Amino acid sequence: MKLKDLRETLRDFWGEFRKVRYGMVGLVMFGLFLLIVILEPVLIPFPETGRRWRDITYWEDNPKNAAPVWVNWFTRKDYTPQAVLDKPEISERKAANTQMVEAVFTYNYKYDLPPIDLLLRATGKGLLNLAVHLERPDGLSIELTKKSIRLSGEAPVRLSLDKEASGAVGDFLKTYEDPDVLRGVSIFTVKPVEVFFARAEPGILRNPVPLKGEYRIKLTCVAVGSGAFLKEPALTVAGRVFGLMGTDASKRDIWSGVIAGTKWALLIGLLTSAVAVIIGVFYGVTSAYFGGAVDLVMMRIYEVFQSIPLLPVMIVVSAVFKPSIWTMILMMCAFFWVGSVRTVRSMGLQIKEEIYVEAAHALGASRGRIIFKHMLPQVIPYAFASMALQVPVSIVYEASVSLLGLGDATIVTWGQILHDAMQGGAVLQGIWWWIIPPGLFIALMGMTFAFVGFAMDTILNPKLRTR
């Protein structure tokens, strides 16, 4: 019985709702957000974003403060994007106690501004004698570095050629650059990788002309000792532009962070508003039904809660107790329920006076039956509308607290990304790709629920309907 009533109310409501165009737009956007949450593992290039957002080793191969890749569409000179080459041509030879590995990476360079680094990664064991050669499109071959590493167990190997090739770059410059220019330059300020991607001619240091074409980076490794080996070599070209939304000052991929934050925003918004509105609706209806002394006491309590400025309290509580995201949600629920009480109570007062409630009373219906069967179903559409409108408020509150650096440090939320942006001087340096995406997502999420909530609101207040 009860369920059937509810279904009928909802079906009528849906019939009306479908006619409001922006309401439907809101629903579609909501669906898209849900899709983002479901497809998160597919959408983000860094699958461990959620867990290792604050782990700097997870992000160390990325460039710092790199703009999104698509800025190349708008700039005259193209920046090199990040690229990972993990399928080199490998040739292996084995002798009694040594293993020789040669891996050749082919990189097609077609940009105007060179990469900032070349990072070699591999896994190895034993004594490794490494040599890295660069073969340029103009036929020049440069030995970038020669190095021996001793690893007692199986361990990762990481070579930053920007650091390793500082010796090689000196010789290279001596051959091609004007000696007068070289005399005024300290070799330590030269970026080797930038030099190697420029035409070998005078002026390579001051006005380098990019040398486009196919580069071959050859890694040779002689692993000496029994059981010594080198495997899974990969080369990362650390670019100047990165991914869909660039990186921040800690080299993190902002796109991954924003997408991973979506589920938290949805959770915070939906959970908080649902719990808060349910409490508020029950509170309001109960207060209206009982009236008299109960109503008076309940309204007093309500007034105390309503008089507490939530955001300052939340900020101070967060600063003092450093709560987790769940405590924060709980705190918001504990205050947001007041939002719907007044309207629900006045609706309840009206419904209470209806003849059919009186009739139900006369028939001996219990209090619970009257509240649940006759009063609550009528308030439910309103409850949905206020839930929808409460969602953005909750999200913005969490974001505000996080912006102050008081968020839950075990997860990543949009507010926290914005906090890092503030701390990292993104406003000052004009790193717009760090500021705009997280805030835009907050705004879009708010818009989604505003569309839905406002649409419901117009249905519930027929007076506001436009002729």
Partner 1 sequence: MYWKYVIRRIVSVFFTYVIIIFIYSALFNTVMEKTIRAQIGEQVKQEMMVQSHIMSAAELKRYQEERLAFHYKRYHLDEPFLSRVFWRAISTLKFDFGNSTIIRSAAGERKVLTIVGEKIPRTILLFTLATAIDIIIGVLLGMKKAQKPGKFLDQSTSIMTMVVYGMPTWWVAMILIMLFVYKIAIFPSGGLHSVPPPQGFAYVLDLLYHLALPLLTLVLIGFWGRAYLTRNIVLSTLQEDYIMAARARGLSERQVLYGHTLRSAAPPIATMSILSLLFSVGGGLIFEGIFSWPGMGNLYWVAIQQNDIPVLMGNLAVTTLFYLSGLVLLDLIYGVLDPRIKVGGKA
Query: Site size for partner 1, by CB under 8 A?
Result: 53
Using the minimum distance from each CB to partner 1, give the nearer residue, 11 or 463. 463
Beta-carbon contacts of 238 under 8 Å, excluding residues fewer than 6 positions away, are 61, 62, 63, 82, 115, 116, 117, 118, 119
Using the minimum distance from each CB to partner 1, give the nearer residue, 196 or 414. 414
Tokens of 25: 């737009």
What is the nearest approach in angstroms of partner 1 to the Cβ of residue 275? Answer: 19
| Cβ-contact 65, 249 below 8 angstroms | yes
Using the minimum distance from each CB to partner 1, give the nearer residue, 115 or 438. 438
Among 139, 179, 309, 368, contact with partner 1 (rule: CB under 8 A): 309
Q: Which of residues 399-418 bind partner 1 (CB under 8 A)?
A: 399-400, 403-406, 418
Using the minimum distance from each CB to partner 1, give the nearer residue, 197 or 414. 414
What is the nearest approach in angstroms of partner 1 to the Cβ of residue 384? Answer: 16
Q: Which of residues 6-45 bind partner 1 (CB under 8 A)?
A: 22
Indicate the helix (H) or strand (E) that contains 220. Answer: strand 213-238
By CB under 8 A, tell whether 357 contacts partner 1: no
Among 158, 319, 346, 354, contact with partner 1 (rule: CB under 8 A): 319
What is the nearest approach in angstroms of partner 1 to the Cβ of residue 362? Answer: 27
By CB under 8 A, tell whether 316 contacts partner 1: yes
| Cβ-contact 219, 102 below 8 angstroms | yes
What is the nearest approach in angstroms of partner 1 to the Cβ of residue 400? Answer: 5
Using the minimum distance from each CB to partner 1, give the nearer residue, 14 or 321. 321
Beta-carbon contacts of 336 under 8 Å, excluding residues fewer than 6 positions away, are 272, 273, 276, 277, 280, 310, 390, 393, 394
Using the minimum distance from each CB to partner 1, give the nearer residue, 88 or 446. 446
| Cβ-contact 215, 134 below 8 angstroms | yes
Query: Of the ranges 62-70, 71-79, 211-219, 384-392, which one interacts with partner 1 (CB under 8 A)?
Result: 384-392
| Cβ-contact 222, 129 below 8 angstroms | yes
Determine the Cα–Cα distance for residues 23 and 14; give it in Å rounded to an integer.
11
How many CB atoms neighbour CB 181 within 10 A? Answer: 14
| Cβ-contact 255, 244 below 8 angstroms | yes
Q: Which of residues 425-454 bind partner 1 (CB under 8 A)?
A: 426-430, 432, 435-436, 439, 442-443, 445-447, 449-451, 454
Tokens of 229: 């080996």
What is the nearest approach in angstroms of partner 1 to the Cβ of residue 339? Answer: 11
Using the minimum distance from each CB to partner 1, give the nearer residue, 247 or 458. 458
By CB under 8 A, tell whether 293 contacts partner 1: no
By CB under 8 A, tell whether 317 contacts partner 1: yes
- Is the four-CA dihedral 282, 288, 294, 299 of positive or negative sign? positive
Beta-carbon contacts of 49 under 8 Å, excluding residues fewer than 6 positions away, are 253, 256, 257, 259, 260, 412
Determine the Cα–Cα distance for residues 129 and 157; give it in Å rounded to an integer.
12
Interface residue list for partner 1 (CB under 8 A): 22, 303-304, 307-313, 315-317, 319-320, 389, 391-393, 395-396, 399-400, 403-406, 418, 421-422, 426-430, 432, 435-436, 439, 442-443, 445-447, 449-451, 454, 461, 463-464, 466-467
